[in-house]
Amino acid sequence: MKLPRLWPIIFGVTIVAGCQTPAPPAADTSKPSSATAAAPAPGTPERAATPPGQSTGSEPFPTDPRPALPYPDRVKPVTTCGDKDDSQDVETYKGDLGVDRPYVDAREPSTVQFQWLDRTKMAQRFPGYSYGNVASVRWCTGTLISDRQVLTAGHCFDVQRNQSSWISPFKDVGGTRQFLDPAQLATLQVVNFRYQVNGATGAARPGDVYPIVRLVEHRLGDLDYAIVELGPNAQGQMASATYSLAQVLTRAPVDNEVIAVLQHPQGDPKKVEAGHVKTTQGSAVYYGDVDTQGGSSGSGVRDSTGAVIGVHTNGGCEATGGANRGVTTKAISAVSSVF
């Protein structure tokens, strides 16, 4: 059943739970499906690869074809629009980026961070599998859009074979790496609510953790988006019992309209940045004055009312120009059964 195309903000649950027993792992040794980004063989040096369904050759502005996953130290980000990053911590936001403080206070609770399980928990879920190099890594950003569903970027669950300097869990079988598939990888991550700097103390809040129990949709229509289902937290509550839901609109973004991106750049505590839509083309929306980082992948691109009209997927901004990019919810709605 499709959810309404405009959902009112309501207050909901907090969930941190134990892990469910996974289905038997499926090896990923052949060509990737249409829902999974193609990747080079393990051990090959990182090089940009154009995500499925997105072409860099015909884009109106230069963007980075590398998905906006966290950047290892040796990789130079191409995501800051201008000479400095203007993003601010949500609880100490000054209200000077284009949206006011009440706007951020009302909308930041629905923004979450994805994080990989630690090595021990990964081994418990899939015995015999290597954790690659992603264990415990703070990974992506997402938005709570229903009682138990979070909207994010599809590449957050793509198999990582070192194409972005990351390697996802795999098993060595006769000298061949057999990788877990996106549905299995999703269950090896959790969602953190309220991982942000406490405005009163200056210390990072520990976050409120919820398990991912299912990958609901992943790269349908060759679009870089995903929707996951959360389980209850350690107290048996669902996230919507504590946290407000984001509104989702399936209209096209308008050139020059004000937008805001609540995000976890480079895995950091939650921040806000705001600016304007530069333009749209096909399924993509571009913004040239909204700073992001690796780890901002999956952030909701919100309009002046706080409604989500896009999902951030790629960097591209530099001091001299370019643009960061997302996929529009209008394009997603054409293939999704959720909204």
pLDDT average, residue stretch 155-181: 95
Q: How far apart are CA 180 and CA 164, in angstroms?
A: 17
- DSSP assignment letter at 2: P
Say whether pTM exceeds 0.75: yes
Phi, psi at residue 189, to the nearest 5°? -120, 155
Confidence of residue 73 (pLDDT cuts 50, 70, 90): low
Q: List, for residues 256-312, the tens digit of each pLDDT value.
A: 999 999 999 999 999 999 999 999 999 999 999 999 999 999 999 999 999 999 999
151: nearest Cα among 262, 279, 29, 26: 262
- The domain 88-168+177-333 is placed in CATH, from the list 2.40.10.120, 2.30.110.10, 3.40.50.10860, 2.130.10.30, at 2.40.10.120
Q: What is the mean pLDDT of the chain?
A: 85
Contact 309, 301 (CB under 8 A): yes
Contact 226/35 with Cβ under 8 angstroms?
Answer: no
SS3 200: coil
**What pLDDT, on a 0 to 100 scale, did the predictor assign at position 163?**
86
Question: Residue 21 pLDDT > 80, yes or no?
Answer: no
pLDDT tens column, 129-164: 999 999 999 999 999 999 999 999 999 999 999 988
Confidence of residue 75 (pLDDT cuts 50, 70, 90): low
Give the residue from 37, 296, 11 showing the smallest Cα distance to 325.
296
Of the chain, the percentage scoring pLDDT greater than 90 comes to: 72
